[in-house]
Structures are given as structure tokens and as C-alpha cells.
Structure 1
Amino acid sequence: MSILWYLIQKEFKQIFRNKGMLPIIFILPILQLVILSNAATFEIKNIRLGYVDNDRSPSSRALMQKFDASDYFEVIGEYSSQNGAQHAMQDGLVDIVINVPDAFERGLYNGETVILGSTINAIDGAAAGVMNVYVQQLVMGYQKNIGIEMKASLLGNNKPISIQSIPSFWYNHTLNYKTFMVPGILVLLVTMITLFLSGMNIVREKEIGTLEQINVTPIKKGQFIIGKLFPFWVLGMIILSVGLGISKLVFNVPMLGSMWLLYVYTGVYILVILGMGLFISNFTETQQQAMFIAWFFAVIFILLSGLFTPIESMPPWAQRLTELNPIRYFVEVIRMVMLKGSGLSEMTPQLIKTVIYAVVMNLLAVWSYKKVN
């Protein structure tokens, strides 16, 4: 036991003596969490809108005023022709062009189908889809108001009867996208830091030649591995704690569930990542090789984790592949615990799979590690 304790002390001293590693451990995660949480959003605001009003009626002007009053649109101005509006889009001055047809108002009050043209810059297909939804929702709201006004004028009633739907948003009542993204980005940071540092730290011993010296000492294989990886397990838990503090103080992300339960799951999850780091280090000779291999697998895991794109939207083969992705389970658990207040019973499937993953990954890592004695 004393040998293990000295090994752990030695690793902590070695980490804190490395001046280049300290900013990576303590400063970069904070900056990345703050910056990425503000940058990684699918919300689209300040959509530049131009329009061609061929009707020039009170109804068409009211529609444009509704666009101008929206938080999502910035009305650039009116164009005299569709040609001019298209040139403005080609020059990057507008993102959407609304074309109001002739007899727009008359068609509305006659109960006819009115075709409202919208030309959307679709270089970014995902953003174009979101912008189209915003336009459709705003036009539908305007159409509803017009229908109520028409009914009131026909009935001579100054206070028309209308049906209003009042939504109730659970788990993210403000619809703040950061509330959804911050827990996922925190998972990303814990994963990347522990994976890279654990893998490169062991390979560093190979590069400087100290690994061979340790191999010929009476230190047992298990003692060396635990002593080597335990400090990074502690650092991973510290990064989680700092990230949770920033999530609450800076982004006001709710923490409805048990934090102790989240820490228990994180402890198991970090064992998975440390096992991966050790496994990679056993088959590499330089820190550069270890970093490239770790990055290769990390990118695949991140893209298949459901962090940025819903797993349900992936092809069936990709959805099945995500079952082998430990990051997916951590993203699900941290969002369940923090945002929904889920307990142990709800997260048991993810916990069981992560425990199995940790056992298998560490057994493979220990088996592949070669010790002389």
C-alpha cells in the first residue's frame, strides 16, 4: 500500500511540475466551457430580411411590421423588384426575401388561397430549415389574427372570441439553448482532458526512458497502473466540479437531481476513459502518436453521442453504433440528472452499460500492458 501511495504522490508532483500541462488542466476547460456554450447553438437570430411588396396594401404592410417586430428578423428594406432582391441575396445583404403577390389583401378577405413567396439562402441547409420554420410560424400567427378580424367584422362584434393555446415547457421553461448544451459540453471537456492526459502521460515515460526503469523495479503491474491513472481520475472529478460551478454561476443551468449520483456515475465513466488512454498508450511510442489516435476515436464518439445532433435523426446503422459509445451515455445521464431531476432508477440502464464498458476496457488495457517482471 505504501508503494502505491508513493507512486500517486510522484504522479501528482510530476503533473504540477509540468508548467505546460497546468494551463491545459485548469484554464483551458474553463475557457472552452464559457466560449463553446455561447458559440454552439442552433438558435438563429438577426435574420436579415428583404421584401418585395407588389400589393402595397394595409394588410401587406401589417405583415412586414410583424416581421420587423420579431426578435428573430431584421428587416433590411423593401426592393422594387424580385431581381433587385435576388441581387441583394447574391451580395450577401439579405438571408430571406419575402415576395408579397398582387391582390394579397383582396385574396385574404375573399377567403382565397394566397401564395406568399419566400426565397431563403440555403447554403447552410440546417439554418435554412430553421429560418423557414420561423417564417411559417410568423405567417400562421398573422393569418390567425386576420381570420379573427374578418370574423369580428362579419359579426359586428368588437371583441371576437378566440382560442388560445398556452404551452407548458418542462425541464427548460425559458427555452434557453445553453441549458441544453452546457451539460453536454461539460461531458466533452471531462472526456477530452482525461483521455489525452492519461494517454500522453504514460507515453511520455516511454519517450524519456523512465518506463523501462520502472518495469525492472519490484513495483507490481497493478500498482503501477493505479498509481499512474488515479491522479487523472481525481483531476477529472475536479474538472467536473469546476464545470458544474460555472454552469450554475455563469449560465444558471438548473441542477434538479442528486449531484452525488452524478459524481458516482462520473467516477465510473472516467474509469472507461482512463482505460482507453492506457490502451492507446500501450500501442504508441510517442505523445504525438497517442494524441492523434485518441483524437481519431474522440471525434467519432463525439459525433455519435447525440451532443450536437439527435440520435433519432441518424441512420439506423449509426443508431446501433451509438450503443458502443460511452460518451452517449454520459450525455444522457448528465442531462437527465441536471435538467429532469432523474434518480437512480431512471439512469440504471446507462449505469450498467458504463460499468460493463469500464470493466472490459480496463481489462483490455491491463492485458495489453507489458511488464518485464
Structure 2
Amino acid sequence: MLRYLLEKEFKQILRHRFLPRVILFMPFMMLGVLPFAANQEVKEVRVAVLDNDHSTTSRRLIEKVKGSGYFQLVALPKSHQEALQGVEAGETDIILELPRDLEKAIVQGEGSQVLLAANAVNGTRGILGSTYLSSVLHDYASELRQAGVGSAERGAYTALPTFTLQSQYQFNPHLDYKAFMVPGLMVMLLTMLTGFLPALNIVGEKETGTIEQMNVSPVRPWTLILSKLIPYWTLGLFVLMLAMGLAATLFGLTPAGGIGNILAFTLLYLLVMSGLGICVSNIAGTMQQAMFVMYFFMMLFFLMSGLFTPITSMPQWAQMLTYLNPLRYFVQAMRSIYLKGSGLMDLLPQLGALAVYALASCSLALLSYRKRS
């Protein structure tokens, strides 16, 4: 029975005048246009300061960074490796490493090298944060010069202090913002196709009257729901492969991690969104109702996922709400796999959250369907 229902669904999709064109056209539009147009606002750049000098000069510099209004001091690591762990975990945006004998070198009029290591998964955030921090360092150097020369008890500086910056951009060395946005746009594309289309499926059959034939047939509810979901899972995987091909062709962007990891997260996420779409379709009486309900969910999902606006820039209450958003976990997983090369063990929290949402979504889709004569 399932075989014939699947044949019916695929024939309906292929015979539709508009639907196949949308499925093929959307990836080209979203990946060909949006990466050049999307932008992101940077707030509260998270800085970890590795102070190897522990002098009055270094402490004043740290206080100046904290008081600038652009930065949030999140850690004072004891080693460069410990600082990099914060970057790899996504908890730190920039590492500021102050060398030993910083104050001594400045007092003697020698130059001093300061290291900036930026998390460049978000290239815009990395380069703007580095620029802001460089400005703070140069301002501090000017303040030291204005302190004057000749006061031995104050440890006066004999020359203009200078800082030589060596920047390292992790995961996105060329600071290409498109490398940050393209994986997120793939998530957005899958959300729209596998969310909206299932939502319009059953309610469309309600309006045409064909659902009555299904209701009086001996088909079990789970068989009918499965026949509705499998075609959109197939389409979702096809669109993902097409989008990955476009990303490689247009931007030279290929995943640093395994494609199998991407497929594992994608399959779970397709269960979440297609299950939600079928649930809305079961409840709605008309296509207009289904569209409005799905728009409501989609807008919340997109705005509260970190896709465009960094979650760390949101108010605390909004950050807590994002944990209820399945899109958040898929966006984090896609960007981590594409740019960092993360594996399933590195993304177990995201994988577990999506598995729970997939189970809940498919269960609601099954429970919300009722045969009516």
C-alpha cells in the first residue's frame, strides 16, 4: 500500500505546473543572490586576554579594553592552547595575547609585539573585532606617550610605545563573509521547502476533496503520513546536494568535515520540519490558514536561530528562547561541519536536540491526523 501512495505523491509533485520549478529555482536564487546581500551587525565581541606580563601596564590595557564598550572580557586563560580551546568551542571571538616583559620593553623604548587571534567562522565579526581592538591598542599607546618623560618614580616611558600586531583568523583565513552565510542559507532553503510544501499537502487535498477518498480507504494513519513525508525527505536531500554543488561551484566552498555528518543532521532536521508541516496541514482547514501558521513559525525560527543576528548579541531572555528553536541547532551544526570540520562527537548536544525535536514533530503529525468520513 505504501508503494502506491508514494507513487501517487511523486506523480502529483512532478505533474504540478509550478512546484518543480520552485524547487529548482530557489537554490539558485538563495545561493546566487543572498550571500552577496546579507549582512550582520556586530555587538559585544567576546575577548579572552592572555596576560604573560602581569604588570601595571598590562592590567591598565585590559581595563581599557573592558571599558571601551565594544568588548566583553570572557576569560583570562593561562596558556595559548587554553585560549584556543575557547575559540574552538565558540565561546571566544578574539584572543589578545600580551607578551612577557611588555612593560619593560615599553619603558626602554623598544617595540613590543601583541598577538590577536580571531575566530573567523564569522569573518565580519572577526575583522571588525580585530579592527576595534587595534584601535584600542593604538589609543593606549598614545596615552602612554602623553604620560611624559623624566619621572623615574612613575616609571615614565622614554619613547613612543608601539604594538606590532600579528593576526590569525581561525577557520576562515580570508575573512570571506559568504563562507559564513552559505551554510546558513542552505538551512534556510531546506526549512522553507520541507516546511511549507508538506504544510500545503494535506490541506490542499482537503480543498480539492481527494482527502475523502483516502479517509474511506483501509490505509492506516501512519502509512498515509509516511507517504506524505518520504517524498519531501527525498526532495530535501536532492536540494541539499544541489546547494552543496552550487556552493562549491560559485564560491569554492566545500565542507571541512565529513559529508556523512551533514547528511545525518539533515535527515533529522527534515523529520522536524516536514513533521511540523504535516501537523499544521492536519489542523488547518484551508491553504490560507496553513500558510499563515507556517509563516508565523518560520519568522520566529529564522530571527531566533543566529542565522542573521548573532545569538550572543541578543538580550539574555531572547538567548534562552533560542534553545526552543530547532533551527538554532542545525545552523550551528552546518557551520561547524563546513568551516571547522567538526564531527558528530563534537556536536552531540545539537544532534540530541534535533533527535528529540524529530521524535516530537513526527509524533504530533501522526496524532493530529484523524480520519473523517
Distance 1:258 1:132 in 2: 30
Distance 1:324 1:143 in 2: 43
C-alpha contact 2:244 2:254 (8 A) present in aligned 1: no
Q: Kindly state the Cα deviation for residue 316 of structure 1 after the two structures are TM-superposed.
A: 1.8
C-alpha contact 2:40 2:309 (8 A) present in aligned 1: no
Structure 1: tracts of 5 or more residues without a match: 45-126, 149-159
Q: Kindly state the Cα deviation for residue 274 of structure 1 after the two structures are TM-superposed.
A: 0.8
Q: Which amino acid aligns with 1:5?
A: R
C-alpha contact 1:43 1:177 (8 A) present in aligned 2: no
1:72-221 map, 5 Å: 163-221=163-221
TM-score (norm 1): 0.68
Q: 2:218 aligned with 1:230, yes or no?
A: no
Q: Kindly state the Cα deviation for residue 173 of structure 1 after the two structures are TM-superposed.
A: 0.4
Q: Which amino acid aligns with 2:12?
A: Q
Identity of aligned residues (%): 42
The 3-state SS of whatever aligns with 1:345 is coil
Q: Kindly state the Cα deviation for residue 135 of structure 1 after the two structures are TM-superposed.
A: 8.6
Q: 2:277 aligned with 1:274, yes or no?
A: no
How much is the aligned-residue C-alpha RMSD, in angstroms? 2.8
Alignment correspondent of 1:334: 334
Alignment correspondent of 1:4: 2
Per-residue CA shift, 1:316-367, capped at 9, x if unaligned? Answer: 2211111110100000000111100001111111111111111111111211
C-alpha contact 2:141 2:161 (8 A) present in aligned 1: no
Kindly tell me: are residues 360 and 131 of structure 1, through their superposed partners in 2, closer, same or farther at Cα, counting changes over 3 Å? closer
Q: Kindly state the Cα deviation for residue 132 of structure 1 after the two structures are TM-superposed.
A: 12
Once the two structures are overlaid, the 10-residue window that deviates more, 200-209 or 163-172, is 163-172
The 3-state SS of whatever aligns with 1:182 is helix
Kindly tell me: are residues 179 and 132 of structure 1, through their superposed partners in 2, closer, same or farther at Cα, counting changes over 3 Å? closer
Per-residue CA shift, 1:32-83, capped at 9, x if unaligned? Answer: 2211111002499xxxxxxxxxxxxxxxxxxxxxxxxxxxxxxxxxxxxxxx
Distance 2:354 2:128 in 1: 39
Q: 2:14 aligned with 1:16, yes or no?
A: yes
Q: Kindly state the Cα deviation for residue 143 of structure 1 after the two structures are TM-superposed.
A: 9.8
Per-residue CA shift, 1:117-141, capped at 9, x if unaligned? Answer: xxxxxxxxxx9xx999969957976
Alignment equivalent of 2:24, drawn from 23, 26, 30:
26
Distance 2:203 2:216 in 1: 17
C-alpha contact 2:255 2:338 (8 A) present in aligned 1: yes
Kindly tell me: are residues 245 and 131 of structure 1, through their superposed partners in 2, closer, same or farther at Cα, counting changes over 3 Å? closer
Alignment correspondent of 1:108: none
Distance 2:179 2:226 in 1: 36
Distance 1:178 1:43 in 2: 15
The 3-state SS of whatever aligns with 1:168 is strand
Structure 2: tracts of 5 or more residues without a match: 43-123, 146-159
C-alpha contact 2:41 2:309 (8 A) present in aligned 1: no
The 3-state SS of whatever aligns with 1:166 is strand
Q: Kindly state the Cα deviation for residue 142 of structure 1 after the two structures are TM-superposed.
A: 10
Kindly tell me: are residues 137 and 282 of structure 1, through their superposed partners in 2, closer, same or farther at Cα, counting changes over 3 Å? same
Number of aligned residue pairs: give it. 275
C-alpha contact 2:247 2:253 (8 A) present in aligned 1: yes
Distance 1:136 1:4 in 2: 61
Alignment correspondent of 2:248: 248
Alignment correspondent of 2:60: none
TM-score (norm 2): 0.68
Alignment correspondent of 1:288: 288
Kindly tell me: are residues 189 and 164 of structure 1, through their superposed partners in 2, closer, same or farther at Cα, counting changes over 3 Å? same
1:24-63 map, 5 Å: 24-42=22-40
C-alpha contact 1:202 1:278 (8 A) present in aligned 2: yes
C-alpha contact 1:282 1:369 (8 A) present in aligned 2: yes
Q: Kindly state the Cα deviation for residue 144 of structure 1 after the two structures are TM-superposed.
A: 7.0
Alignment correspondent of 1:305: 305
Q: Kindly state the Cα deviation for residue 228 of structure 1 after the two structures are TM-superposed.
A: 1.1
Kindly tell me: are residues 241 and 286 of structure 1, through their superposed partners in 2, closer, same or farther at Cα, counting changes over 3 Å? same
Q: Kindly state the Cα deviation for residue 310 of structure 1 after the two structures are TM-superposed.
A: 1.4
Per-residue CA shift, 1:237-291, capped at 9, x if unaligned? Answer: 1111111111111112241101111101100110000110011111112212211
Distance 2:133 2:169 in 1: 21
Q: Kindly state the Cα deviation for residue 298 of structure 1 after the two structures are TM-superposed.
A: 0.5
Distance 1:131 1:315 in 2: 21
Distance 2:321 2:14 in 1: 38
Alignment correspondent of 2:354: 354
Alignment correspondent of 2:65: none
